[in-house]
Structure 1
Amino acid sequence: MLVFGSYLIIVGGVVMSFFPHHILTILSLKADNDTVVRMTGLLAAILGANAALFMFSMVITGISPQNLLLLAFGDAMAATWTFVALRKDQQENENKQKNSNKKN
């Protein structure tokens, strides 16, 4: 939940609030009104902050067991795995482009 909250803050909040056209281009959508997209980004950032804060406070106050943090660890491992896989894919694509440029 902590990692997911951070993800929502960064991707949902910051990117959608400050760079809405990039997100909409990736999704092949047109934006008639940037305000709606920016407000959605702000909402995602607020939800992400609340999710991370809620998870942390529940464990610290003793309402939830500390074992619940194991879920955060699993979430962090999954996020790391995804990051490594995306980075590897990006490097492979760059190598393919370099090789095709050398042949031409």
Structure 2
Amino acid sequence: MLVFGSYLIIVGGVVMGFFPHHILTILDLKVDNDTFVRMTGLLAAILGVNYFLMVRETTVICFKFSIIMRYLAALFMFSMVITGISPQNLLLLAFGDAMAATWTLVALRKDQQENQSKQKNLNKKN
């Protein structure tokens, strides 16, 4: 989650906030007014800070919720490309969201297995 939070702050906040035309060029998106792109960057950076807080406070329920939301975001972006609303380059972000969600899912499962193993060892000692 720290990696994903950093990604949101750097790509979302810094790149979209201060250099929106770079990201728009990569995604093959054209806009007349980049204000909404900069505002979206601000929102992404705020989400990134929230991810940092989630890690610090170990809020597992938020991690689980983020997995669902990131898969839905990837599905939405994929749907936008398939229907011809958005260019194919948007699939880069969809893939990134899906991979980040999968990474979080795997990490949560690993952590859960480790906790169960520790609990079994504690029960054996008692």
So what's the TM-score if we normalise by structure 2?
A: 0.40
Q: Does 1:45 align with 2:67?
A: no
CA shift in 2, pair 1:47/1:57, >3 Å: farther
- In the other structure, the counterpart of 1:103 is 125
Q: How many residues align?
A: 104
Residue deviations 1:53-76 (CA, integer Å, cap 9, x gap): 999999999999999999999999
Tell me the CA shift for residue 7 of structure 1.
1.0
Task: Give the distance between the partners of 2:32 and 2:86, measured in 1 at CA.
Answer: 44
Segments of 5+ residues of structure 1 without an aligned counterpart are none
What is the percent sequence identity of the aligned residues?
91
Whether contact under 8 Å (1:17, 1:41) holds in the other structure is yes
Whether contact under 8 Å (1:4, 1:75) holds in the other structure is no
Task: Give the distance between the partners of 2:34 and 2:112, measured in 1 at CA.
Answer: 30
CA shift in 2, pair 1:10/1:96, >3 Å: farther
CA shift in 2, pair 1:99/1:73, >3 Å: same
Whether contact under 8 Å (1:8, 1:44) holds in the other structure is yes
- Among 87, 91, 96, which residue is 1:65 paired with? 87
Segments of 5+ residues of structure 2 without an aligned counterpart are 51-72
CA shift in 2, pair 1:98/1:72, >3 Å: same
Task: Give the distance between the partners of 1:29 and 1:63, measured in 2 at CA.
Answer: 11
Task: Give the distance between the partners of 1:65 and 1:26, measured in 2 at CA.
Answer: 11
Task: Give the distance between the partners of 1:37 and 1:26, measured in 2 at CA.
Answer: 14
Superposition CA RMSD, Å: 13.8
Task: Give the distance between the partners of 1:84 and 1:35, measured in 2 at CA.
Answer: 37
Tell me the CA shift for residue 46 of structure 1.
0.3
